[in-house]
A and B are shown apart, each in its own frame.
Chain A
Amino acid sequence: MASTRDRISNGFVSFLWALAGIAIIGLMWELTKLIGTIIDLPFNTSNQAMPHIWTMFSAFSLPEVRGSDTTVFQAVLAASTYSLTLALGGFVIGVSVGLLLAIIMQRFLFFERGLLPFVIASQTVPLIALAPLIVGIGNQISFGPIQWSTTYSVMFIAAYLAFFPLSVGALRGLQAPSSTSLELMRSYAATNNKVLWKLRFPASIPYLVPALKVSAAAAVVGTVVAEISTGVRGGIGRLMVEYARETTSQPAKVYVAVFGAILLGLVVAAAITAVDVLLTRNLPKKGLA
């Protein structure tokens, strides 16, 4: 199997496709603006509401505030990096909790019956209702010298969104081994833990990887939304709100922050893909999952 090299070249091709996709979106944006000048569209296509692509790119190099050495782009990069660390923290917590829940639910049918409805119900709580609640409760928490800060609230919200896809995906994965495989393990007199490590975990990987992707995306969305909601300083969510306030006079600036958020999502997706390549290097490439 010369699969790794194949996958890299495949990856390069899909990267080119992605670039083409971005170019097409840009073209459609400009085309919409052009049509808007000829006929009346049901939405506003003026430069105020939909700045030209090149205006957006020229906003990259604007100074963030007058006289400062940092450009908007640098500020957005720094904010994206900060948000990435928060999202990563939330992701790790969410994945750990999700995995633990999945293992418990797989091992004890009682917990699957009892816990799963709550796990699903947890995702129906709207985030904007949750965020102030978590901040409100969090403000009163302190562990000895460590005082809860809104940064932890953001991580908590990211984790809250991230654990769900993973626990559901992992549960399905852990339940994936065929009864023949399970019977074989039983004939070896394998303990439950051995079955978990030697059979269930490897079998769950095809389910786990897509779940990880969804979880990672959820962690990023959770981080950005929580930052907007709670106003935590330093991240891309806060920057979006700050720049959105200037849309009246500088409509292009907020799009730089949006690009930053997109970049954040792409970096995370790329990282998960790398994990995917690593985890599935020994698996047959077709016919599973």
Chain B
Amino acid sequence: MNRGKSWIRVAAVAASGLLFLTACSSSDETASETTDTATTEEGATEEAAAECTELTPVSLQLQWFVQAQFGGYYAAKDLGYYEEQCLDVTILEGGVDIVPQTVLAQGGADYAISWVPKALASREQGAGIVDVAQVFRTSGTLQVSWADSNITTAADLKGKKVGNWGFGNEYELFAGMTKAGLDPANDVELVQQQFDMQALLNREIDAAQAMTYNEYAQVLETVNPDTGELYQPADFNVINWNDEGTAMYQDAIWASEERLADAAYQDTTQRFVTASLKGWIQCRDNAQECADIITANGSKLGASHQLWMMNEVNKLIWPSATGIGVIEPELWAQTVSVSLNTKNLEGATIITAEPPATAYTNQYAEAANAALTAEGLNTTGDAYAPIEVTLNEGGN
């Protein structure tokens, strides 16, 4: 008995001694490497890799299933950008009833992707979350109508049957109509819209809500029974809320406010934001590759639909004069103003009070931009040009 115990003790001492030695030697190596290569681009990543003894496990909650809308995160994971930052990222897919910012606030995930107005509403109800990177600059929400209906501005919606998704997805539309001098409750006939475009195609409604990267593509993947060809963009008019001035910030990376007080989580957040934004830069320059990564991750969307989505999502991010992920105060103010002042049919606004300045921070996105620029990457996309995507029937 006794002998056995002392053996264990000896072994433990030996092991800890060994650990100590290896720790010393590896930090020595790091130090010398840093001095050698500090000026070169690879220096930063090599140093991170050398320090990285164990990957930090991190989980990210998405709003929906795997699709090109989340291309940057999947690219960062599959191309090893997260690993470069010493992170082991688990991407949690969303579902019909999964509210990412709630999952984040409950501690079910370390980070979440959410639209800003919805997240601000949750924040007001007590979810302690902070926007740490505003990935999408512009809004992807459209109001699509038949070309022969001649609806080109929000004012033209007067007296029409206007489809909307409700559940907090209708505020840009309502704000747009209000701005154009219409009363959403009386001047238009509002119709609760399904998440497909059949009601518009069957002319049950005059204008339908659509995301540029999804529902609008679905329309253009459908065969026009009159011509036997796919519907063309010329068959439709779209109202773009970015042009109408009522657009709201959409996909952003949210972190836990409470945990941001902790230095370790701050560090993880920085690494997570940097790697994620690097993924988005990769997807800007390699849309096809990113679309393929998404499909390889189990998306059931057709190939042309996937590529279309990737391309349209890129258009929502680039060009970004302030650098990717950095929140622009005017656009934030516009989002807050619409959230604060637009009443829906029930007379409710998204939020009742201005969110505090701590609801977002540019600290992480700006540092990420600096680091990525130092790596030689272009973080503003000033020369960005979208690709041409040809949709096939059914998105295949």
Q: Which of A's residues lie within 8 Å of B, judged by CB?
A: 44, 46, 48-49, 63-67, 128, 131-132, 135-137, 139-140, 228-233, 238-239, 241-251
Contacts and interface: CB of A to CB of B under 8 A. Distances in A.
Given A65-B303, A136-B102, A246-B395, A233 B298 contact: yes
Given A67-B303, A139-B107, A249-B393, 16 more contacts: A46-B202, A48-B198, A48-B201, A66-B302, A66-B396, A132-B97, A136-B108, A139-B108, A231-B96, A239-B300, A244-B196, A247-B196, A247-B198, A248-B197, A249-B218, A249-B395
A16 B197 CA distance: 40
| A-B interface, 8 closest residue pairs, ranked by CB to CB distance from nearest | A231-B95, A139-B108, A66-B396, A248-B218, A249-B222, A229-B97, A242-B300, A249-B221
B108 A241 contact: no
Contact of B109 (A132, A139, A230): A139
6 contacts: A63-B396, A67-B303, A132-B98, A136-B102, A136-B106, A248-B198
A48 B107 contact: no
Nearest to A75: B300
B198 A136 contact: no
Contact of B198 (A49, A63, A67, A229): A49
A130 B136 CA distance: 32
B65 interface: yes
Given A44-B202, A64-B300, A231-B95, A140 B107 contact: yes
Contacts, number: 104
Contact of A230 (B95, B107, B201, B298): B95
B201 A128 contact: no
Contacts of B372: none
Contacts of B223: 249
Given A44-B202, A66-B396, A247-B196, A241 B96 contact: yes
Given A48-B202, A67-B303, A250-B394, A231 B93 contact: yes
Contacts of A233: 65, 93, 298
Contact of B103 (A63, A139, A238, A248): A139
B202 A246 contact: no
Nearest to B391: A249
B98 A230 contact: yes
A135 B99 CA distance: 11
B102 to A, nearest CB: 7
Which interface class (under 10, 10 to 19, 20 to 34, 35 or more) fits B? 35 or more
Contact of A65 (B107, B195, B295, B393): B295
A180 B393 CA distance: 73
Given A66-B303, A249-B395, A140 B108 contact: yes
Nearest to A139: B108
Interface of B: 64-65, 93-99, 102-103, 106-109, 195-198, 201-202, 204, 214-215, 218-219, 221-223, 295, 298, 300-304, 392-396
Contacts of A229: 95-98
A227 B264 CA distance: 35
Nearest to B195: A245
Contacts of A245: 195-196, 214, 218
A149 to B, nearest CB: 10
B113 to A, nearest CB: 14
B94 A231 contact: yes
Q: Choose among B95, B201, B221 the residue with the greatest number of A CB atoms under 10 Å from its CB.
A: B95
A79 to B, nearest CB: 10
A248 B222 contact: yes
Contacts of A250: 394
A230 B394 contact: no
B394 to A, nearest CB: 5
Contacts of B301: 65
Given A46-B202, A64-B300, A250-B394, A242 B295 contact: no
A163 B95 CA distance: 25
B303 A228 contact: no
A2 to B, nearest CB: 51
Contact of A248 (B96, B97, B219, B396): B219
Given A135-B98, A231-B95, A248-B197, A65 B108 contact: no
B196 A232 contact: no
Contacts of B219: 248
Contacts of A247: 196, 198
A250 B396 CA distance: 11
A173 B39 CA distance: 80
A245 to B, nearest CB: 7
A228 B196 contact: no
B202 A49 contact: yes
A137 B103 CA distance: 9
A71 B158 CA distance: 46
A64 B301 CA distance: 9
B221 A248 contact: yes
A193 B63 CA distance: 52
